[in-house]
Structure 1
Amino acid sequence: MLDRETDKAVCVIDLDTVMPGSVLYDFGDMVRTMTSPAAEDEENLDKTFLRMPMFEAVVKGYLEASREFITPQEVSKLAFSGLLITMETGIRFLTDYLEGDVYFKTKKERHNLHRARTQLRLVESMEEQMPEMEECVRKCFQTVNG
């Protein structure tokens, strides 16, 4: 964006992935990026897991902000959307690694392979905790909607 008066740059807006779609895409990616204490390319997979307190905070905040437009069907898929988007991202990193790192920028050798492994470990953690994640969504939805 440019300032009208000075014609100087004010900020950069990245519209690369802006498109119409379900709120579940955005929520799922938020779960993927916010709930693990590990960096996206962490090589020590023991550090990669879903932190349930962080998941609960994300769910509460999202449901409070979206209560005017989110549907009950979308709410019922919130927990799964985190797993699905994380799996998709892991597959995308792995695909890019196998194709020679042509899409995602890399900073080191096998960078996208490490990213893929981290995402897939996070998927495992989500699978292990899915009943608790779903119960968390249910309770938060009840709380927000009284």
Structure 2
Amino acid sequence: MAENKTQPTEVAVSAFIASVEPRRRAEDGLRLDELFQGVTGFEPRMWGPSIVGYGRYRYVYASGREGDFLAAGFSPRKAALSIYIMPGYADFGTILQRLGKHRIGKSCLYVNKLAGIDLDVLAELIRAGLDDLKTRWAVHPE
């Protein structure tokens, strides 16, 4: 069975964030790192070339597919900040209504700039996502 394309790496999170362009996006990345560490209590780790992840969980599907993935994280991409919680945002509509300007995908929240959202609500959303994930899979700090 094929492995996930996104795997943990040994790249230093601080070096990755420092390399992000434009500078405003790197500054948002630093703020997100502080927020995620505070909410999760986990140290960050790079997953693939551009995702900063916090915690890890091992999934095993009924199909037999299994693997490890980050429990929560973000990527300061050029077009938008991508914020990940697993298993996604479908059940968090009441929190999302209070967040501010955003778009959502299956397990990704897109934010153009942190100034456009309420960071306390984002912290609540990250916590809710982790709590929900823990009802399905064990979440580990690394």
- With normalisation by structure 1, the TM-score equals 0.25
Greater relative contact order (Cα < 8 A, sep 6+): 1
For the pair shown, which has the larger CA radius of gyration, 1 or 2?
A: 1
- With normalisation by structure 2, the TM-score equals 0.26
